[in-house]
Amino acid sequence: MPGYELINKEEYLECRDVLKKSKTFFRMGFNPFRKGIFKVDTFEKKFSKHLNSKYALGVTSGTAALRVAIASLNLKPGDEIITSAFTFVATVEAIIESRCKPICINIDESLNIDPKELEKKITKKTKAVIVVHMLGVPAKMDDILKICKNKKIKVIEDTAWGCGGKYGNKFLGTIGDIGTFSFDHAKAITTGEGGMIVFKSKKTFLNAKAWHDHGHENNPKFPRWEDTRKSSGFNFRMTEMQGAVGLAQLKKLNYIVKKQKMNHDLIWNKIKSIPGISRRKYPTGSKISADALIIFVKNNDIAKKCRLELLKQGISTKILPEAYSWHFAGLWSHIKELYKKNFKNSLKESEKILKKSVSIPIFVKMKKSQINAIKKSLIKAVS
């Protein structure tokens, strides 16, 4: 889990620059005051460099990142966007806010989109797919890209739970056309609230940059309020304080992913021989960011028992089973744009897999005693 465990002097010093030197919270302009300090700008450049992506844009949240990413594609109301049945509601909310139609499809045992389902659910109206690398494990990007390329469908990677993970030799978020990231307080790196979008195409990046800032082109030849206008838009601008914290956190990302992977492996090696436990499937070429370790048990009753036994030892679970209703589309009867009669039945396959899942949160700092307690609790629950 993450960056919040490591908030320290580095974050303080970056923020102090803003509070004591630039005294400017706005990400652009005010040049006579800010002493050359542009935290959001620098964060975007460094984030882009870290991931080996071409263009990056900071925004106010992971949800905003998705909304702005969709806006950059110039879709029409009613266009269909396919996404996973297992994700946070934000993915679907961003599609609805864009006046597009969300189509949630089944996952496989990787807990990400099943490429076979994707192929079946594409229609003439499908214009984009939002692939979610849920809880640190990559989706099957080779198969997904092949399908989408054939049909000229854009691929957005919701990398809220995959920052720092890789698929083959590429960072998650840089494989499709656009990648979105969240820096909320539970994610691998955090700015409190915040997000980032990375782009392959300069044109799409410029669309997004203008749209997230009321359509401002920020043409350097003009002062901001005599600036040229590209389109309508909204305000999803990141603040300098978020940018400052992001810069400090980004330096810790490699360490976070390395430690999480280490702890993930330590736990898995301890529990893998317990009868009745198997692990979520990792696609070939995965380099997980290890936000969580998700195991399959025999049924939902045992999954709930695992949660109770873990809680008794002071260990929580992460999303599954306790926050299942916020992350499985088949239960979102409160979203009228999505839910219709029998919708749940079309996602039976996902429901079956998710109900037997238990998600163990991975922290950067984990004690041996905690790892032993996980093993003890699981043995008790499954036997």
Ligand X SMILES: *Cc1c(COP(=O)(O)O)cnc(C)c1O
The answer to whether the beta carbons of residues 159 and 14 sit under 8 Å apart is: no
3-state secondary structure of 101: strand
* CB of residue 311 to ligand X, shortest distance in Å: 22
Which of 86, 73, 287 has its CA nearest to residue 197?
73
> Could you say whether residue 160 binds ligand X (CB under 6 A)?
yes
The answer to whether the beta carbons of residues 339 and 89 sit under 8 Å apart is: no
* CB of residue 64 to ligand X, shortest distance in Å: 7
> Could you say whether residue 63 binds ligand X (CB under 6 A)?
yes
> Could you say whether residue 167 binds ligand X (CB under 6 A)?
no
The answer to whether the beta carbons of residues 57 and 64 sit under 8 Å apart is: no
C-beta of 88 vs 211, nearer to ligand X: 88
Q: Which residues contact 82 (CB under 8 A, 6 or more apart)?
A: 103, 104, 105, 113, 118, 121, 122, 126, 128, 129, 130
> Could you say whether residue 139 binds ligand X (CB under 6 A)?
no
Could you count the other beta carbons within 10 Å of the beta carbon of residue 59?
A: 30
> Could you say whether residue 61 binds ligand X (CB under 6 A)?
yes
Among 132, 137, 288, 293, binds ligand X (CB under 6 A): 132
C-beta of 1 vs 302, nearer to ligand X: 1
Q: How many residues bind ligand X (CB under 6 A)?
A: 14
Among 48, 53, 72, 91, binds ligand X (CB under 6 A): 91
Alpha-carbon separation of residue 239 from 1, 25, 206, 220, 322 (angstroms): 24, 6, 19, 20, 33
Read off the DSSP letter of residue 75: P
Among 3, 195, 246, 330, binds ligand X (CB under 6 A): 195
C-beta of 212 vs 305, nearer to ligand X: 212
> Could you say whether residue 161 binds ligand X (CB under 6 A)?
yes
Q: Which residues contact 60 (CB under 8 A, 6 or more apart)?
A: 193, 194, 195, 236, 237, 238, 239, 242
Among 11, 80, 157, 158, binds ligand X (CB under 6 A): 158
> Could you say whether residue 245 binds ligand X (CB under 6 A)?
no
The residues binding ligand X (CB under 6 A) are 61-63, 87-88, 90-91, 132, 158, 160-161, 182, 184, 195
